[in-house]
Structure 1
Amino acid sequence: MQPQETFGRGGLNGFLDVDDLVDRIGLDEDEIAWRKEFIGFDEEDEQRLSSLEPMVQDNAEAIADDFYENVLHYEQTRAIVDRSPKDVDALKRTQQAYLVSLASGEYDREFFKNRARIGKLHEILDMPLKQYVGQYGVYYDLILSRLNDRVQQQVIDAVEEWAAEREADDGGLGRVVGALGLGGGTEEADDGLEDSFETAVREAIDDGMMDVLSLLRIINLDMQVATDTYVDSYAQRLEESIERRKRLAQEVENDVQGPIAELHESSEVVAKRAEAISEHTESQATGITRAASELNDVSAAVQEVASVADEVSEESDRTERLAAEGVDAADDALDELEAIENATDRVADAADALAERTDEIDEIVDRLDDLAERTTVLAANAKIESTRSDADGGETMGVIASEVRSFAEQTKSDLAEIEATVEAVREDAAATVETTEETVARVDAGTNRVRETVDSLEEIHESARETASGMEDMAAAADQQARGVEVTAQTLDDLSESADTVASAAESAAAASQQQTASLREVRESVARLTEDGTDETVPVYEQLD
């Protein structure tokens, strides 16, 4: 299939109504004729383009390869190629067909209709206008470089033709060399190039440049139509956007009518409340001022409390010292009581030992008493025996009996005294023991009371210490409270000023709320104007272009 046969058969054509497109951009016969006349495109240009068709045919494949090599080199243009339903080879064949069509068309409405279709397809692929127009610069480089070779060859052919004619006319190569200004000693050499030679060269160059101009003119017409398709798309988008904005404006008007009315009412309520806030704020400022005055009095009282707390703290310190001294004295008394208790224990032990000794004495007295009894019996027996004995012996025994009786009586008398004394000692010992036991009991009770006193004094001491510590804390807290009250008083002064400011601001808010009510009324009127028929809100098309 030839390239021309693939041109215009892309998969995107099903999404495009070309007839509707050319109608929208106004591309009719008269418009096409005017555009051709405006840039000077005529039948001569058509003939020149037709003469270029062989050259374009021969170079179409190479130009298409070089063109897509440049396109695929850049990420932005490569992304457009990736979105095309055709692969790169198919795109190259389409490009070849496009190039050939530039030099083989009828350049009528159908030709430009095809141009419009091509431009629209690029726009459908979201190719920015800067890229579409920019690719014509690539065409200039690729096509004109080959056209330059053609022009140079035309100049060479013209020179060769002129030389052949001169040689046939003048019959010598020297005349040709002289006409070129390369000989010497001739008048023609002195005058430079021969006029006919220069004319031939200029005509050849001019003919080549006219070919270039014809190609640029048809590309310019092509570019105009392609640009129209982009502008048409932007205009459609703009119209759609305007229509959407109109619909949106209508919706906004419908949606905001109720809220604006509510805002209008609420603004009036806010204004009234702002006035009430202003009144309350003034009352608050007065109350704060009064509270500040009372806090100043409280601050003075707190300072007095702090002073009393300092004095109480000093007295608590003295109480703590006295309690500590009482604890020390109680400890000393407790030590003395313990010593007394020990001594009392020793007295009790001595009384017990004395009682034991008294018991031993009683035993001895009993034995002596028994001895006295036996002595008495012995004396009685001796007396009896003395009466039985002779006169001298009986007298002696009588004396002995008398002495023994006297001894026994005296012994009994002494034993009676000893027994009485022992009994007295026993009674005294019993009284001593009883007194000692009573003393021990009292000492124990006193010791317990002293211990309780010591414990109480220790508690008093600890309590006094805690009281002193608490008083220090209270004094510190009182100082801090005094500072806090001073700060609070200052804060209340600031609040009073702030309340005055708030009152002023509330008055301003009331005024602003009233202004807001008026502004909301204007907003409602402005929203209503969004849907009026006289709206002529347009956006310049060039602002929509990339």
Structure 2
Amino acid sequence: MDPEETFGRGGLNEYVDVAQLVENVGLDDDEIAWRKEFVGFDETDAERLADLEPLLRANSDRIADDFYDNLLAHDSAREIVGRSPKGVEALKETQRDYLVSLAGGEYDRRYFEQRARIGKLHELLDMPLKHYLGQYGVYYDLLLEQLNERIQQQVVDAVEEWAAEQDDAGGLGGLASALGFGGETEQDGLEAGFEATIREAIDDGMMDVLALLRIVNLDMQVAADTYVDAYAQRLERAIERQQRLAKDVETDVQGPIGELHEASQVVAGRAEAISDHTSTQAVAVDDVAAELAEVSAAVEEIASAATEVHQESTRTERLAAAGVDSADETVSELAAIEAATDRAAEAAARLEARTDEIDAALERLEDVTERTSILAKNAKIEASRSTGEGAGPMAVIADEVESFAAQTRTDVEAIEAAVTAVREEADEAAAATEDAAERVDQGTDRVRETIGSLETIHEAASETAASVEDVATATDQQARNVERAANTVDEIADTADRVAAAAESVAAASQEQTASLAAVDETVSRLTDDEDVSAMYAGPVENLER
């Protein structure tokens, strides 16, 4: 059976439409002729390959075995072989048929359709192109080894043929001469005819190698075309999916993008407003920080004043305590004065009693004086009677008595005047004493009230001193708190500045986002523009097709 009819006929062939495949890659008669001309493949090459058919057939088993031994030595290649519906032995049989087909075909359209089918089968097995083309390197090693032996044998045969022709002209002597050994003539290198024979044999062998390389190159081109066609179809399907997806995306995204665009504008506006508010807040916080600094200074002054007040309160407390002590001493002195006043009052009372006694005595003395005076008058009268007009002893006694009575009356009047004056002075003394006593009582009451007030003042001063101390302590604490608050406000001011800057950044970012959304909207619209998509992928597809 023709190897081209047998190799590559596996279970995957039902998935390959060869006619459509060659149409996709543009592999018509004109294209095939152009490719042959491009690599220099002609009828002479076909004839040479036909001559190589026995060699390839004879070595097909060993080449197939060596080929798969090398292929299965690699894990990735072994995995690909495992995906084939054929077993390894069946694959080796296919490989042997392919080797023979290289030298037995007509190299027409049917030949290249078979090559396209083989390339497509390998692509269906997901064999990477690097593996497929790389295996031709193994072919080169295996085939050129056989061709090398063939060329060497051709050279040997040519030398033997030339030597046989030279037997009639001198036998071995002629061969030795051709090789430049012996002889009478001196020559440089091989004999010209001998060298030409060797060169022709080598050239003939190399032309066989070149013919084989050219047909393998044409096979590689077709196989690569099938891969490129598969890639192009995948790319076209991807483009179609992308176009469908782009249309779906445009349909699905238009509404949200519009809403997001509006929301971004709102966010940008609000972020700008936040930035303005934050800037205002930062200014206000700076003002508060300045006011707190002033409050802190005022609190420090209050703390200093509280300290002074505390010292003054302590001094007042000491003075109040001293006042209480002095008031106690005053009360004691007032008590002594009151006692003395009482004694003066008692003495005045006693003086008044004595004055009354004097009055009584004066009344008696006055009565005596009156009777004495009467007695003197009577005596004088009696003396006159007894003596007449003369002055007798009784007259003298009467004069003396009358003088004594007059003097006594004068003294009594003087005593009465003195007693009256004493009484008046005693009354004034008594009144003054009563007034002094009353004033002492009032003073004592006032002193007692003062003592009570001083005690109250002392207690209040003590409480005030304690309260002022608490106030001083609280003021110090408040000063520290105000200072910390001022520091905190400074930090808040710094933070507000940073927030303002961040808000400005957010506003700018929102504006950029709005612009980006507009660009996204435009880009999404472009995704569904068939002309743009065609222009985007036309170049790569054409390159792949080429």
3-state SS, counterpart of residue 534 of structure 1: helix
Structure 1 residue 526 and structure 2 residue 523: aligned? yes
Aligned letter for 1:214? A
Structure 1 residue 95 and structure 2 residue 92: aligned? no
Q: Deviations over 1:134-160 (max 9, x none)?
A: 111111110001110001111111111
Q: Give percent identity, aligned residues only.
A: 64
3-state SS, counterpart of residue 520 of structure 2: helix
CA distance in 2, matches of 1:518, 1:180: 88
CA shift, 1:221, in A, is 0.4
Question: How much is the aligned-residue C-alpha RMSD, in angstroms?
Answer: 3.4
Aligned letter for 1:174? G
Show the 5 A alignment for 1:184-263: 184-185=183-184, 187=185, 190=187, 192-263=189-260
CA shift, 1:76, in A, is 1.8
CA distance in 2, matches of 1:160, 1:484: 120
* Contact map agreement 1:282 1:499 (CA 8 A) in 2: yes
- Cross-structure match for 1:35: 35
CA distance in 2, matches of 1:192, 1:526: 77
- Cross-structure match for 1:128: 128
CA distance in 2, matches of 1:479, 1:141: 100
3-state SS, counterpart of residue 85 of structure 1: coil
CA distance in 1, matches of 2:120, 2:238: 20
Show the 5 A alignment for 1:465-480: none
Query: Among residues 488, 493, 498, which one is paired with 2:490 in the alignment?
Result: 493
Aligned letter for 1:121? L
Question: Which range moved further: 2-11 or 82-91?
Answer: 2-11
* Contact map agreement 1:115 1:226 (CA 8 A) in 2: yes
- Cross-structure match for 1:57: 57
* Contact map agreement 1:3 1:93 (CA 8 A) in 2: no
Unpaired runs of 5+ residues, structure 2, are 311-468
3-state SS, counterpart of residue 531 of structure 2: coil
CA shift, 1:297, in A, is 6.2
- Cross-structure match for 1:105: 105
CA shift, 1:520, in A, is 3.0
Question: Which range moved further: 517-526 or 83-92?
Answer: 517-526
* Contact map agreement 2:11 2:85 (CA 8 A) in 1: yes
CA shift, 1:258, in A, is 0.8
* Contact map agreement 2:61 2:96 (CA 8 A) in 1: yes
3-state SS, counterpart of residue 84 of structure 1: coil
- Cross-structure match for 2:44: 44
Show the 5 A alignment for 1:376-395: none
- Cross-structure match for 1:147: 147
CA distance in 2, matches of 1:116, 1:478: 100
CA shift, 1:510, in A, is 4.0
- Cross-structure match for 2:266: 269
CA distance in 2, matches of 1:117, 1:529: 39
Aligned letter for 2:176? V
Question: Which range moved further: 88-97 or 24-33?
Answer: 88-97
- Cross-structure match for 2:387: none
CA shift, 1:514, in A, is 4.3
CA shift, 1:119, in A, is 1.1
Q: Deviations over 1:462-501 (max 9, x none)?
A: xxxxxxxxx99x97x9978765643432231232243244
3-state SS, counterpart of residue 127 of structure 1: coil
CA distance in 2, matches of 1:69, 1:296: 92
* Contact map agreement 2:3 2:101 (CA 8 A) in 1: no
CA shift, 1:287, in A, is 4.0
CA shift, 1:509, in A, is 4.2
Query: Normalising by structure 2, what TM-score?
Result: 0.63
- Cross-structure match for 2:180: 181
CA distance in 1, matches of 2:152, 2:253: 74
Aligned letter for 1:80? I
3-state SS, counterpart of residue 492 of structure 2: helix
Show the 5 A alignment for 1:493-512: 493-507=490-504, 509-510=506-507, 512=509
CA distance in 1, matches of 2:2, 2:21: 28
Query: Among residues 275, 280, 290, which one is paired with 1:278 in the alignment?
Result: 275
CA distance in 2, matches of 1:543, 1:37: 22
Question: Which range moved further: 536-545 or 171-180?
Answer: 536-545
Aligned letter for 1:7? F
- Cα separation, partners in 2 of 1:103 and 1:72, compared to 1, 3 Å: same
3-state SS, counterpart of residue 170 of structure 1: coil
CA distance in 2, matches of 1:482, 1:90: 100
CA distance in 1, matches of 2:151, 2:483: 103
CA distance in 2, matches of 1:4, 1:100: 9
CA shift, 1:228, in A, is 0.9
CA distance in 2, matches of 1:270, 1:544: 48
3-state SS, counterpart of residue 530 of structure 2: coil
- Cα separation, partners in 2 of 1:297 and 1:15, compared to 1, 3 Å: same
CA distance in 2, matches of 1:135, 1:480: 91
Q: How many residues align?
A: 384
* Contact map agreement 2:285 2:492 (CA 8 A) in 1: yes
Question: Which range moved further: 282-291 or 226-235?
Answer: 282-291
Q: Deviations over 1:40-97 (max 9, x none)?
A: 1000100000000000011001011111111111122122112222221111111111
3-state SS, counterpart of residue 236 of structure 1: helix
3-state SS, counterpart of residue 106 of structure 1: coil
CA distance in 1, matches of 2:477, 2:126: 76
CA distance in 1, matches of 2:117, 2:129: 15
* Contact map agreement 2:36 2:218 (CA 8 A) in 1: yes
3-state SS, counterpart of residue 24 of structure 1: helix
CA shift, 1:502, in A, is 3.4
3-state SS, counterpart of residue 213 of structure 1: helix
* Contact map agreement 1:231 1:541 (CA 8 A) in 2: no
CA distance in 1, matches of 2:233, 2:59: 39
Q: Deviations over 1:238-265 (max 9, x none)?
A: 2122222222221222122111211222
- Cα separation, partners in 2 of 1:41 and 1:148, compared to 1, 3 Å: same
Query: Normalising by structure 1, what TM-score?
Result: 0.63
* Contact map agreement 2:48 2:211 (CA 8 A) in 1: yes
3-state SS, counterpart of residue 537 of structure 1: helix
CA shift, 1:36, in A, is 0.3
Show the 5 A alignment for 1:448-467: none
- Cα separation, partners in 2 of 1:153 and 1:508, compared to 1, 3 Å: closer
3-state SS, counterpart of residue 8 of structure 1: coil
CA distance in 1, matches of 2:50, 2:541: 37
CA shift, 1:532, in A, is 2.0
CA distance in 2, matches of 1:520, 1:232: 38
* Contact map agreement 1:6 1:93 (CA 8 A) in 2: no
CA distance in 2, matches of 1:283, 1:194: 109
- Cross-structure match for 2:169: 170
- Cα separation, partners in 2 of 1:16 and 1:480, compared to 1, 3 Å: farther
CA distance in 2, matches of 1:507, 1:191: 95
Q: Deviations over 1:111-168 (max 9, x none)?
A: 111111111111111211111111111111100011100011111111111111222x
CA shift, 1:507, in A, is 4.7
Aligned letter for 1:108? D
CA distance in 2, matches of 1:483, 1:244: 72
CA distance in 2, matches of 1:66, 1:485: 94
- Cα separation, partners in 2 of 1:194 and 1:478, compared to 1, 3 Å: farther
- Cα separation, partners in 2 of 1:278 and 1:205, compared to 1, 3 Å: closer
- Cross-structure match for 2:443: none
CA shift, 1:289, in A, is 3.4
CA distance in 2, matches of 1:543, 1:479: 87
